């Protein structure tokens, strides 16, 4: 992924279109650069306010995608957007939007309410800014609202298993929200809070995981030495046959308990380390893939600018050739050398007398 600059963000927002791919691609880029969340959200609001009415809905789709898909990595975007969304909804409402734009935004507000993306008072504020009323209007999409009502009515008489199945279906449907774009119904945004796979890590995050693994369980020689020095009796059933009295049995029981504690603690640390190394492996793969993509971009850019340089050098050669074919004015003969000097003003005056 390309590095973050405010100018680059403005360019990406300008190029943003209504397609699902365009919105999700930019959303992933913004989430990747979440440490710049404050600048990102301020720039988003500024560009939304300047955008034509038809494009404001696309900006809101982008915000929705970022807010919901960034929850897994942290609440930064959700909190930052909370401060500006009221202005955004007011701006959209004042731009004379089409009814389908209002319907699409009300669908988003409804989903935010259902998923507790924002508290109910905030949802009411946003709805008031958009609709002039605190209550978010119910929006039907291809009769799905009626279908949900029908499911709800039947669930009272159906077994609990069927109710759970209906709930699962409803949840599944909610993860792919249907919206209208230019009169066409399509799945426009990813509303599931699931973070898409393959999001490359920040270099500092990768370094942090690597450094933490330097003190991992497998490198703890002290504990390994303690385990190696455990008495053989604690792991051999035949030792029970050698017990002669209760005191010896109690001592063996204490040794066994100590060995169990040491091994349980160490095995738990090893399990954590195994998960961390799996995580690191995934991070490295994603980081490597990103670097390969960046390398390809640099190679393409190098070829592009090498071609541009060749064209400029060609122009340079043509300019030089043209200059060499132009006459040298300093070497031309002096055309005024053999002529008498022009008379002065005094000479002209005396000639008339």
102-111, 158-167, 236-245, 324-333: range with highest mean pLDDT = 102-111
Q: Could you tell me how many residues make up the chain?
A: 353
* Residue bearing tokens 């961390």: 276
Q: Tell me how far apart the terminal alpha carbons of the chain are, to the nearest angstrom.
A: 92
Q: What is the pLDDT of residues 146-198, one digit of tens each?
A: 433 333 333 333 334 333 344 344 443 344 444 444 444 444 444 333 334 45
336 — pLDDT class (breaks 50, 70, 90): low
127-136, 183-192, 304-313: range with highest mean pLDDT = 304-313
Burial class (CB in 10 A: 0-12, 13-18, 19+), 335: exposed
d(CA 48, CA 168): 36
Q: What is the DSSP secondary structure assignment for residue 233, as one 8-state letter?
A: G
CB of 18 within 8 A of CB of 58? yes
CB neighbour list of residue 227: distance below 8 Å, 6 or more residues apart? 262, 263, 266
Q: For residue 3, what pLDDT is reported? A: 78
Mean of the per-residue pLDDT values for the chain? Answer: 79
Which of the pair, 345 or 16, is modelled with greater confidence?
16
CB of 117 within 8 A of CB of 67? yes
Q: What is the pLDDT of residues 244-264, one digit of tens each?
A: 788 888 888 888 899 899 999
Strand, coil or helix: 132: coil
Q: For residue 187, what pLDDT is reported? A: 43
Q: For residue 139, what pLDDT is reported? A: 57
- pLDDT (average), residues 312-336: 81
Q: For residue 175, what pLDDT is reported? A: 44
The pTM of the full predicted model, rounded to 2 decimals, is: 0.45
58 — pLDDT class (breaks 50, 70, 90): very high
Phi, psi of 136 (to 5 degrees): -75, 120
Q: For residue 270, what pLDDT is reported? A: 92
d(CA 295, CA 196): 23
Residue 142 has pLDDT above 80, yes or no: no
Q: Mapped to the 3 state alphabet, what secondary structure does 236-304 carry?
A: CHHHHHHCCCHHHHHHHHHHHHHHHHHHHHHHHHHHHHHHHHHHHHHHHHHHHHHHHHHHHHHHHHHHH
CB of 56 within 8 A of CB of 92? yes
d(CA 72, CA 265): 29
Residue 338 has pLDDT above 70, yes or no: no
CA atoms in the 13 A half-sphere facing the CB of 281? 6
34-48, 162-176, 219-233, 294-308: range with highest mean pLDDT = 34-48
- pLDDT (average), residues 220-239: 84
- pLDDT (average), residues 123-134: 89
Q: For residue 223, what pLDDT is reported? A: 87
Q: For residue 176, what pLDDT is reported? A: 47
Residue 290 in tokens? 């990103």
Which of the pair, 140 or 88, is modelled with greater confidence?
88
Q: For residue 339, what pLDDT is reported? A: 59
d(CA 196, CA 288): 17
CB of 101 within 8 A of CB of 57? yes
């Amino acid at each position: 992924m390309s590095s973050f600059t405010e100018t680059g963000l403005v360019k990406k927002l300008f190029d943003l279109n209504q397609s699902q791919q365009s919105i999700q691609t930019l959303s992933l880029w913004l989430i990747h650069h979440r440490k710049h969340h404050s600048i990102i959200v301020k720039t988003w609001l500024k560009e939304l306010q300047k955008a034509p009415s038809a494009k404001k809905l696309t900006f809101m789709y982008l915000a929705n995608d970022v807010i919901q898909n960034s929850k897994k990595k942290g609440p930064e975007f959700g909190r930052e957007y909370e401060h500006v969304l009221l202005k955004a909804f007011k701006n959209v409402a004042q731009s004379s939007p089409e009814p389908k734009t209002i319907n699409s935004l009300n669908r988003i507000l409804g989903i935010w309410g259902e998923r507790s993306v924002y508290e109910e008072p905030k949802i009411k504020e946003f709805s008031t800014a958009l609709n002039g009323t605190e209550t978010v209007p119910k929006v039907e999409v291809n009769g799905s609202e009626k279908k949900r009502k029908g499911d709800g009515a039947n669930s009272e008489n159906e077994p609990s298993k069927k109710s759970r199945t209906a709930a699962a279906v409803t949840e599944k449907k909610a993860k792919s929200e249907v919206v209208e774009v230019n009169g066409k119904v399509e799945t426009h945004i990813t509303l599931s809070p699931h973070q898409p796979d393959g999001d490359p890590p920040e270099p500092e995050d990768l370094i942090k995981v690597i450094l933490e693994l330097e003190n991992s369980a497998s490198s703890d020689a002290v504990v390994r030495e303690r385990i190696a020095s455990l008495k053989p009796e604690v792991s051999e059933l035949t030792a029970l046959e050698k017990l002669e009295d209760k005191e010896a049995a109690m001592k063996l029981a204490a040794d066994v308990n100590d060995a169990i504690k040491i091994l349980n603690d160490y095995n738990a640390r090893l399990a954590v380390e195994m998960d961390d190394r799996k995580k690191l492996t995934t991070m490295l793969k994603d980081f490597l893939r990103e670097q390969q993509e960046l390398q390809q971009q640099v190679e393409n850019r190098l070829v592009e600018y090498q071609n541009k340089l060749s064209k400029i050098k060609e122009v340079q050669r043509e300019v030089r050739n043209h200059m060499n074919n132009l006459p040298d004015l300093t070497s031309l003969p002096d055309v005024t050398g053999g002529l008498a000097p022009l008379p002065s003003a005094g000479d002209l005056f005396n000639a008339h007398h």
